[in-house]
Amino acid sequence: MKIPRGKVKTYLEVAKAIRKPKAFRAVANAVAKNPYPPKIPCHRVIRSDGSLGGYSGKGGLQQKRRLLKLEKILIK
C-alpha cells in the first residue's frame, strides 16, 4: 500500500524496506497471495531485472501490464 501510484518497487526493494534483504522470494510469495488485487496494489511490485514477474489477480500478466500502463509505467 506504500508504493505510490505511478511508481514501482522490486521484490528486493520491498524486502530491504522491511529489513529482510534476503527475503525477496518470501516477498514475491506474499505478493502472489494477495487476496485483493488491485485494491492492494501488488501490480506495482516487479522483478529486479525490470520485467513484470507474476500477478495473482484476474487477467494475470496482461492485467498487470494494463494496470501499470494506466499509471503511466512502462515495463519491458
- pLDDT at residue 56, rounded to an integer: 87
Q: What is the pTM of this model?
A: 0.91
Active-site residue flag, 42? yes
pLDDT digit string, tens, across residues 15-46: 999 999 999 999 999 999 999 998 999 999 99
Res. 74: pLDDT tops 90: no
Among the listed residues 8, 27, 42, 68, the single catalytic one is 42
Going along the chain from its start, the domains and CATH numbers come out as: 9-70 (1.10.10.10)
The whole-number average pLDDT for the span 47-70 is 93
Q: How far is CA 37 from CA 13, 16, 49, in A?
A: 20, 23, 23
- pLDDT at residue 36, rounded to an integer: 93
Please tell me what DSSP assigns to residue 43: G
